[in-house]
Amino acid sequence: MTTEAEAANRLMRLAKEIAKHNRLYHTLDTPEISDGDYDALVRENNALEAAFPHLVRDNSPNKAVGAAPAGHLSKVTHAKPMLSLDNAFADEDVADFVARVRRFLNLPEDEPVVLTAEPKIDGLSCSLRYENGVLVQAATRGDGQVGEDVTANVRTVGDIPVTLSPSRLREGLGVGMSAGGRGEIPAVFEIRGEIYMAKADFEALNAAQEAKGEKLFANPRNAAAGSLRQKDASITAARPLRFLAHGWGEVSALPGETQFDVIKAIESWGLPVDPRFIRTASVEETLAHYRMIEALRADLPFDIDGVVYKVDRLDWQARLGFVAKAPRWAIAHKFPAERAETTLEAIDIQVGRTGKLTPVGRLKPVTVGGVVVSNVTLHNRDEIARLGVSVGDRVVVQRAGDVIPQIVENLSRDEARAPFAFPDHCPECGSEAQAEEGEVDVRCTGGLVCPAQRVERLKHFVSRAALDIEGLGEKTIQEFFDLGWLHSPADIFRLKARRAEILARDGWQEKSVDNLLAAIEGKRTPDAARLLFALGIRHVGAVTARDLLKGFVTMPRLCDVATSETGADELIAIDGIGPAVVEALADFFHEPHNVAVWDDLLSEVSPPDYIVETRASSVSGKTIVFTGSLETMSRDEAKAQAEALGAKAAGSVSAKTDLVVAGPGASSKLKKAAELGIAVIDEAAWAEIVKAAG
């Protein structure tokens, strides 16, 4: 656990650090850290902000850009926000939507509410800004207010013309231009729509990724997003991205008075519009179109997750306006989660890094909404009991959007058959498997004797948040482990002796082997906190690892304390460290095998002392008390500033206090300071000190 003061301190540093790297990357084009390290900073920031929402300040990396994704692409503030949609699930919800529109506009009974209806494409929305018919900027949705600049990437998408073509305006369209002449393209026109990847292209891309040993995408939408949000647009160019227009943002003039006519005009300028985009005049007609699209769904070349209805008349749209982030004039009629029946053929048990036994259901392969599902997670022993499943049962599998497929119903639960016996021994090493009191998870007690735990720990050791060894992915770790080359982390640093053997294996060339070995060599002086986290000690996450090292500076000192008689007290005294961590550390370092692994590792790597960087200042080493109400910052922020300047922030004035920073309303502490002859300054003077330290 991190204390509030520590979180405030860390958040302030992170904000500065992220801002610095943004500048280095975007403005100066001289990044100093890898994308992985940058992402880790952003992740750490976001986790702390989530845990301490009241500490989120205006200089938060997220605030500065809205809550937009803090990636490496630059930010774009949308001229008009990119909205989301309310959802309807049942037919009645659609009837209610139309009734609401009718009521809001106070329409007479016999006035039809004409809607447009079109598929809801499962992609990512994108805003394309055309000025005088030329594509000048493309941005992702981001948080709706601020997105990411993907102009260079979008220019490589074949469906998206770089210039709009007025000549394509179809004759007889019946569209009156509300400004400019017929067929003229408005000076400013932002076309909005969905970037997506066709199902077949997604399959082919994943097959190619697999052949190259690269990361697979979970679904077409992730593949489209990953392909679009590339710093290097040539990667985007090589990916088969498509586009369908469904709306617009800022425009200097509109080529029509209805949703339908404007979209048709956009189509005539050269952008694709889904052929199932139609106008409907009654709820019945609308629902019939929904059912038609639902029936087509599995055969469509791309994923859709519903049908979107929009009020056709733009003057009505304007009157209806928005509620929160969604328009009152549109709604997404979602398809129900897809389900299918199949047989549970086996229940396998996987053993993870911490020894957790996870049951995985193997299914007779079944197509659920166009995707073949053959595995489902059964989570834990309790979930198996809840479903009452055993091998051979008929089950209902559900797949909803992005969610991992799951068993939602057991059709055989009332039949007589032997219940599934959850193992009481580890299937990998035979050690006993138990659940700790009050816990649902059953764990293998074999520790590093267990090959499954050993290999999972190695994977964790090299992972991004840990040592982050590039080129050493899970597959390679598994392969080298199976070959007997890797037993413990230190072996990674001895791989250089196997250069020729690695080279002799499939898929390795001189260059890739040298890159791998260089990446490993580059981690011989790893950050001590990352190294501690990499050991995979239970309850010691990345933040706890840092807290521990802040307290003990070196790893050997930490090990001494963890195993000493009085160690527990010393550890507990550190802010953010609780009994679970103390116990886990003692368990870990009392185990001779772990100590041997650790000593072996230290013969290969030397983590530098962990010194929390503070800026030299006139208050370094001093004890400061903040009192009264501060006007430009919170007490937490002030304390964090003091800590960043190497000072200690204390809660009460005593003989040890060097300085008191007082805002209005301070009384007793001021009096005490006067009695003790301690210097008192105001908030403005404090701000000067902070500024002077740079």
Decide whether 125 or 280 has the Cβ nearer to ligand IVH.
Answer: 125
Decide whether 190 or 194 has the Cβ nearer to ligand IVH.
Answer: 194
Backbone angles phi, psi at 129, to 5 degrees: -100, 120
Per the CB < 8 A criterion, the answer to whether 536 and 461 are in contact is: yes
Q: Which residues pair with 342 in a beta bridge?
A: 395
Residues within window 84-103 making contact with ligand IVH, judged by CB under 6 A: 84-85
120 is catalytic: yes
Binding to ligand IVH by residue 118, rule CB under 6 A?
A: yes
First-to-final CA distance of the chain: 30
Decide whether 223 or 661 has the Cβ nearer to ligand IVH.
Answer: 223
Shortest separation between residue 1's beta carbon and ligand IVH, angstroms: 37
**Nearest-angstrom CA–CA distance, 258 and 313:** 5
Binding to ligand IVH by residue 328, rule CB under 6 A?
A: no
Choose one: 49-57, 81-89, 205-213, 429-437; the region binding ligand IVH (CB under 6 A). Answer: 81-89
Decide whether 6 or 118 has the Cβ nearer to ligand IVH.
Answer: 118
* Catalytic position from the list 75, 120, 459, 523: 120
Among 194, 312, 456, 636, interactor with ligand IVH by CB under 6 A:
194
Shortest separation between residue 311's beta carbon and ligand IVH, angstroms: 11
How many residues bind ligand IVH, per CB under 6 A?
Answer: 15
Nearest to 686 by CA among 618, 591, 613, 604: 618
Within 10 A of 85 (CB to CB), how many other CB atoms are there? 18
| Burial status of residue 167 (CB atoms within 10 A of its CB: 0-12, 13-18, 19 or more) | exposed
Q: Which two tokens stand for residue 151?
A: 């102009």
Binding to ligand IVH by residue 11, rule CB under 6 A?
A: no
Residues within window 555-584 making contact with ligand IVH, judged by CB under 6 A: none
Decide whether 245 or 662 has the Cβ nearer to ligand IVH.
Answer: 245
Residues 248-287: x where in contact with ligand IVH by CB under 6 A, - otherwise, as a string: ----------------------------------------
Binding to ligand IVH by residue 630, rule CB under 6 A?
A: no
Decide whether 194 or 637 has the Cβ nearer to ligand IVH.
Answer: 194
Shortest separation between residue 254's beta carbon and ligand IVH, angstroms: 15
Choose one: 44-52, 80-88, 469-477, 610-618; the region binding ligand IVH (CB under 6 A). Answer: 80-88
Shortest separation between residue 521's beta carbon and ligand IVH, angstroms: 45
Among 72, 120, 454, 530, interactor with ligand IVH by CB under 6 A:
120
Decide whether 201 or 274 has the Cβ nearer to ligand IVH.
Answer: 274
Convert 587-626 into a string of H (helix), E (strand) and C (coil): HHHHCHHHHHHHHHHHCCCCCCCCCCCCCCCCCCCCEEEE
Q: Which whole-number Å values give the CA distances from 69 to 36, 232, 246, 289, 420, in the listed order? A: 15, 18, 23, 36, 44
Max Cα distance, the chain (Å): 90
Nearest to 626 by CA among 657, 603, 585: 657
Binding to ligand IVH by residue 308, rule CB under 6 A?
A: yes
Per the CB < 8 A criterion, the answer to whether 34 and 14 are in contact is: no
Residues 136-165: x where in contact with ligand IVH by CB under 6 A, - otherwise, as a string: -----x------------------------
Choose one: 31-39, 73-81, 326-334, 379-387; the region binding ligand IVH (CB under 6 A). Answer: 326-334
Q: Which whole-number Å values give the CA distances from 549 to 113, 271, 613, 691, in the listed order? A: 66, 56, 13, 29
Q: Which residue is nearest to ligand IVH (CB)?
A: 125
DSSP classification of residue 469: -
Choose one: 94-102, 115-123, 224-232, 684-692; the region binding ligand IVH (CB under 6 A). Answer: 115-123
Among 147, 270, 327, 355, interactor with ligand IVH by CB under 6 A:
327
Q: Which residues pair with 129 in a beta bridge?
A: 137, 190
Shortest separation between residue 297's beta carbon and ligand IVH, angstroms: 14
Decide whether 125 or 544 has the Cβ nearer to ligand IVH.
Answer: 125
Among 2, 125, 342, 594, interactor with ligand IVH by CB under 6 A:
125
Within 10 A of 52 (CB to CB), how many other CB atoms are there? 18
How many angstroms from the chain centroid is the CA of residue 77?
Answer: 21
**Nearest-angstrom CA–CA distance, 454 and 473:** 15
Choose one: 70-78, 82-90, 541-549, 611-619; the region binding ligand IVH (CB under 6 A). Answer: 82-90
Residues within window 212-251 making contact with ligand IVH, judged by CB under 6 A: 246-247
**Nearest-angstrom CA–CA distance, 114 and 313:** 8
Per the CB < 8 A criterion, the answer to whether 448 and 516 are in contact is: no
Segments of 38-114 assigned E as strands: 64-67, 75-77, 87-88
Spatial CB neighbours of 341, under 8 Å, sequence gap ≥ 6: 366, 394, 395, 396, 397, 411
**Nearest-angstrom CA–CA distance, 134 and 152:** 14
Decide whether 156 or 317 has the Cβ nearer to ligand IVH.
Answer: 317
Spatial CB neighbours of 329, under 8 Å, sequence gap ≥ 6: 101, 310, 311, 316, 317, 320
Choose one: 83-91, 215-223, 393-401, 662-670; the region binding ligand IVH (CB under 6 A). Answer: 83-91
Shortest separation between residue 530's beta carbon and ligand IVH, angstroms: 37
Binding to ligand IVH by residue 121, rule CB under 6 A?
A: yes
| Burial status of residue 487 (CB atoms within 10 A of its CB: 0-12, 13-18, 19 or more) | middle
Spatial CB neighbours of 319, under 8 Å, sequence gap ≥ 6: 104, 105
Choose one: 327-335, 511-519, 527-535, 579-587; the region binding ligand IVH (CB under 6 A). Answer: 327-335
Binding to ligand IVH by residue 330, rule CB under 6 A?
A: yes
Q: Which residues pair with 148 in a beta bridge?
A: 75
Decide whether 303 or 491 has the Cβ nearer to ligand IVH.
Answer: 303
DSSP classification of residue 24: I
Shortest separation between residue 120's beta carbon and ligand IVH, angstroms: 4
Choose one: 116-124, 405-413, 551-559, 590-598; the region binding ligand IVH (CB under 6 A). Answer: 116-124
Decide whether 308 or 558 has the Cβ nearer to ligand IVH.
Answer: 308
Decide whether 120 or 669 has the Cβ nearer to ligand IVH.
Answer: 120
Shortest separation between residue 156's beta carbon and ligand IVH, angstroms: 20
Within 10 A of 20 (CB to CB), how many other CB atoms are there? 12
Binding site for ligand IVH (CB under 6 A): 83-85, 118, 120-121, 125, 141, 194, 246-247, 308, 327, 330, 332
Where in the sequence numbering do the catalytic residues fall?
120
